[in-house]
Each structure stands twice: as C-alpha cells, then as structure tokens.
C-alpha cells in the first residue's frame, strides 16, 4: 500500500569489535520492532552490517524496497561511513539508536555505542542530513518512546501526503476563520483537495433506496433515545444524509472531508451534526462548518490513533478549577459519549432544522490541537490535558478539560497569536507525536 511507511532496520558494527553483543541486540531489538511497528512495512536484515560489501547490499535493498526511514541500531562501535552512506545514497532520515554499554566487570568495552552515536550524529549534521539520536536500552520507556514517536510521525506525514480532502461546499456565511489557502496546504502537508457541491449531496439524498432508508432508520431507533419533539421529517433526512455521504465519500475516493453545514443544509431540514458523529465512528471523518484547517488536525490525530475526533468550540474557562469547557452543536461520535451519561438525539440546539446529540463526553487523556495559518505560514497550536467528569448544562456535546498549563496562559496565547475558534480533540495523549509531525513539516509549535 503506497501510504504504508517503509522502515529499514539494520544493526551495525565496525572493525574487530566482538560480534556476540551486536548479534544479541539485532535479535532482541528486531523482535521488539516487529511487534511494535506492525502498522509499517519493516525491512529487516538477518546479518550484521559490518563490512563495505554489506553496507552496499543494504543500501541496494533499502532502495529497492522504497525505504522512507531507517533505524540504525548500534550493535557496537560503527564508523561514520554507514549512516552517511545511507543518507547520501537514499536521502532518507535515520534514527541512530545506541543502547547503553553492557556491564564491564573489569573486561574490555563490548560496544562503545555512545561514542559512535556522538560521532555519527555530528557527521550527519555536518553533511546536512536528518537524524534522530536516541540513547538508551530497550527497557527504558523514554528511549523507546522517542523511537516509536519518530516512526509514527513519519507514518502520519506520509499518509497526509497521499490524502484527498473532499470539500462539500465552501464555508458558512461570515465564518472567515474557515477560509483556507489550498496552495499553502498542498505545499506544507501534501494534501490534495477536490470539491463536491452541496446540491450533489441533496440529489444523492433523494435517490436513497427505500429499503436502505428503513434499515438505517430502524438502526437509529434501536440505538438512540429521541427527544419527543424531534420531527419525523428530520429523522428521515438524518438517515438519507448519512447514507448519501457514505456513498459519496466512497465514490469520490475522499479520505477525509469538510462540509458547509449551514445555512443551506438547515434550510432543507437536514443540519448534519448527529450524522457527522455517526460517520466518525464508521471511520468517515468530516469537519463541520467548512473548517479545513481544523480538518488538518483531525487528519493528523486520526492518522496517529485511528480514533474519532471532536471538532469543537471552547466556550468557557475557569481559572480556579483550571478547566477549559469545550462544546459543539451535537457532532461528537457516539464512541466519545460518556457511558454513564444519558444521550439523546434531538434537533440542532441553536438553529434547529436537523439532528444533533445531547450528551456529556467521556473522561480520559486528551490532545487538543489546531493547525493555524498565521501570517501566511502554518503553526500548530497544541494543548495536553485530561477530560474530566462533566454535566451538560446546554444542549449539544460538552466536555471540561483540565490542561497541563494554566488556562489563563492558554487563553493569552490564543488571543496573542490569533488562533481561530475551532479545535480538534482526540482522546489520547499524542502531543509528542503531533510535535514530531510539525517538526518534520517545518511547522512551529505553540504548545501548552
């Protein structure tokens, strides 16, 4: 699959260093990477890279298999020729991973990997090549996390460079924050955009197969409690729109989407909030209110975790409790709803004319982010926090988040930098990987 990251894994040693420690490292670390990197195509070698001939063979193999990134594990001391040769020949980044020195017990050095790491890293920098030095054993979480974060970040970047973002309409009236620079997005992220007019969506709704319509309506009735006053027409339009968008996304080959969800959709009694939530749990991720820049964060977060996102406003903050309150009209995926809090499907809570979920969202670690076009260049605004127990005090979907940083500082940064009002929340701590993604793309990070 073209979007799968191809990662080379080699274990190196130079000269007359003993081969026992390098061989053991190759086997242990290779088995670990095979287990932990199941989402990538791992290109492994069953021999130590310990001679000019084996370096050349490894380079040829990595080139033939389209390596995007190489993990170079120091079995023992290795000269500059291996990492620089790979970088010169393949123009790919390298993770230089040096385990700690084994217990000496009065004997000779067995690996001297730290010296090799320092030397090789300096040579890579001198030649202008990208490398990620890592020092630490397999048992050290910080070292392992660094390796996995880099790999996962490159995997996301590669996916983004093969992503088609479908636009259902442009942006809502007077929502200039939802405007976007298509050329800048393509240059920065590699994301390609195509557009499907909202009329095409409405026409597709009218072509809904009656049997499929009844099947989905029954599923909705069996799954969700309804607000008594929700009109039958809105319920029917909900299922028509759900099926229409599923069909169009598949037919057009869209990987992610953004939709102009008002005013036209409301005028036709089909405001899509609850539809977008259900689609997210079907791995069809659509950013509301035509906000393409919010969709960029949705794409990155979903690419890392595979989980549904919540596109949302921040409507309040409380300095004493250090909480940020996030709310939106009812678009949160059912997988994000708090299992102990009642969920209702009702009309749009502000404008009416459609369907929306009314519920509090679940607790747990979260990452809040937005890629922002500020002064003609992208920046990543990033908050790490914990979603806490929340009572819904206005219809829609709501969650309180306790961020790691003081809320007053976060608000000051939002206003100072001109960060727009929509954010993407994912229920996982992926702040480090998001930061790494930004670094790879050359994007400044505003992090809290």
Confidence of residue 107 (pLDDT cuts 50, 70, 90): confident
CB 292 within 8 A of CB 299: no
Rounded to an integer, what distance in angstroms lies between the CA atom of residue 234 and that of residue 255? 27
305 pLDDT more than 90:
yes
Kindly tell me the sign of the dihedral angle through the C-alpha atoms of 100, 102, 105, 111. negative
Q: What is the pLDDT of residues 167-214, one digit of tens each?
A: 999 999 999 999 999 999 999 999 999 999 999 999 999 999 999 999
Mean of pLDDT values over 60-71: 98
Confidence of residue 110 (pLDDT cuts 50, 70, 90): confident
15 pLDDT more than 90:
no
CB 128 within 8 A of CB 144: no
* Confidence at residue 1, expressed as pLDDT on a 0 to 100 scale: 43
Q: What is the pTM of this model?
A: 0.95
Q: What is the pLDDT of residues 363-421, one digit of tens each?
A: 999 999 999 999 999 999 999 999 999 999 999 999 999 999 999 999 999 999 999 99
* Confidence at residue 106, expressed as pLDDT on a 0 to 100 scale: 64
Average per-residue pLDDT in the chain? 97
Share of the chain above pLDDT 90, in %: 96
Q: What is the pLDDT of residues 264-274, one digit of tens each?
A: 999 999 999 99
Range list of H helices, 127-272: 141-160, 182-189, 198-206, 210-223, 232-252, 264-267
Q: What is the pLDDT of residues 5-14, one digit of tens each?
A: 999 999 999 9
**Nearest residue to 275 (alpha-carbon basis) of 285, 263, 264:** 285
User: What are all long-range contacts of 26-35, with beta carbons under 8 Å and residues at least 24 apart?
Assistant: 26/73, 26/75, 28/138, 29/73, 29/97, 29/99, 29/138, 32/138, 33/9, 33/71
Share of the chain above pLDDT 70, in %: 99
104 pLDDT more than 90:
no
* Confidence at residue 158, expressed as pLDDT on a 0 to 100 scale: 98
* Confidence at residue 103, expressed as pLDDT on a 0 to 100 scale: 83
Mean of pLDDT values over 242-259: 98
Rounded to an integer, what distance in angstroms lies between the CA atom of residue 431 and that of residue 361? 20
Task: Quote the Cα angle for 266-267-272, to 5°.
Answer: 20
Residues, the chain: 448
105 pLDDT more than 70:
no
User: What are all long-range contacts of 334-341, with beta carbons under 8 Å and residues at least 24 apart?
Assistant: 334/223, 334/224, 334/277, 334/278, 334/281, 335/280, 335/281, 335/307, 335/308, 336/277, 336/308, 336/310, 336/361, 336/362, 336/397, 336/427, 337/361, 337/362, 337/397, 338/362, 338/363, 338/389, 338/390, 341/392
Confidence of residue 33 (pLDDT cuts 50, 70, 90): very high
82 pLDDT more than 50:
yes
Mean of pLDDT values over 127-154: 98
Mean of pLDDT values over 320-340: 98
CB 84 within 8 A of CB 129: yes
263 pLDDT more than 80:
yes
């Amino acid at each position: 699959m073209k979007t799968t990251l191809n990662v080379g894994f080699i274990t190196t040693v130079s000269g007359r260093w003993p081969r026992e420690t390098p061989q053991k490292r190759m086997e242990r670390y290779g088995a670990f990477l095979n287990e932990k990197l199941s989402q990538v195509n791992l290109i492994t070698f069953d021999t130590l890279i310990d001679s000019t001939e084996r370096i050349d063979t490894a380079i040829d193999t990595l080139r033939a298999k389209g390596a995007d990134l190489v993990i170079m594990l120091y079995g023992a001391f290795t000269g500059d020729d291996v990492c620089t040769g790979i970088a010169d020949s393949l123009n790919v980044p390298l993770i230089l991973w040096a385990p700690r020195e084994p217990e000496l017990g009065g004997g000779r050095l067995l690996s001297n990997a730290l010296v090799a790491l320092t030397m090789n890293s300096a040579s890579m920098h001198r030649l202008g090549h990208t490398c990620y030095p890592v020092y630490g054993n397999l048992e050290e979480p910080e070292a392992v996390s660094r390796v996995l974060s880099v790999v996962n970040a490159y995997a996301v970047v590669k996916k983004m460079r093969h992503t088609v973002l479908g636009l259902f309409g442009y942006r809502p009236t007077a929502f200039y924050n939802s405007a976007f620079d298509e050329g800048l997005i393509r240059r920065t992220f590699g994301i390609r955009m195509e557009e499907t007019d909202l009329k095409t969506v409405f026409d597709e709704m009218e072509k809904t197969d009656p049997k499929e319509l009844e099947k989905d309506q029954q599923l909705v009735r069996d799954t969700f409690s309804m607000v008594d006053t929700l009109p039958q027409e809105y319920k029917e339009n909900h299922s028509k729109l759900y099926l229409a968008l599923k069909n169009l996304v598949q037919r057009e080959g869209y990987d992610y989407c953004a939709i102009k969800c008002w005013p036209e959709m409301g005028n036709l009694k089909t405001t899509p909030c609850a539809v977008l939530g259900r689609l997210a749990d079907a791995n069809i991720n659509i950013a509301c209110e035509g906000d393409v820049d919010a969709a960029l964060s949705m794409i990155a977060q979903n690419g890392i975790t595979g989980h549904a996102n919540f596109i949302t406003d921040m409507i309040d903050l409380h300095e004493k409790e250090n909480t940020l309150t996030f709310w939106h009209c009812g678009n949160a995926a059912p997988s994000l709803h708090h299992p102990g809090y009642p969920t209702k499907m009702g009309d749009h809570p502000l404008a009416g004319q459609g369907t929306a979920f009314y519920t509090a969202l679940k607790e747990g670690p979260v990452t809040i982010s937005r890629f922002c076009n500020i002064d003609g260049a992208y920046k990543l605004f990033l908050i790490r926090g914990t979603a806490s127990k929340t009572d819904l005090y206005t219809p829609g979907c709501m969650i309180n988040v306790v961020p790691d940083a003081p809320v007053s500082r976060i608000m000051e940064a939002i206003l100072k930098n001109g960060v727009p009002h929509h954010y993407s929340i994912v229920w996982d701590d992926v702040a480090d990987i998001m930061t790494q993604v930004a670094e790879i793309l050359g994007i400044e990070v505003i992090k809290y």
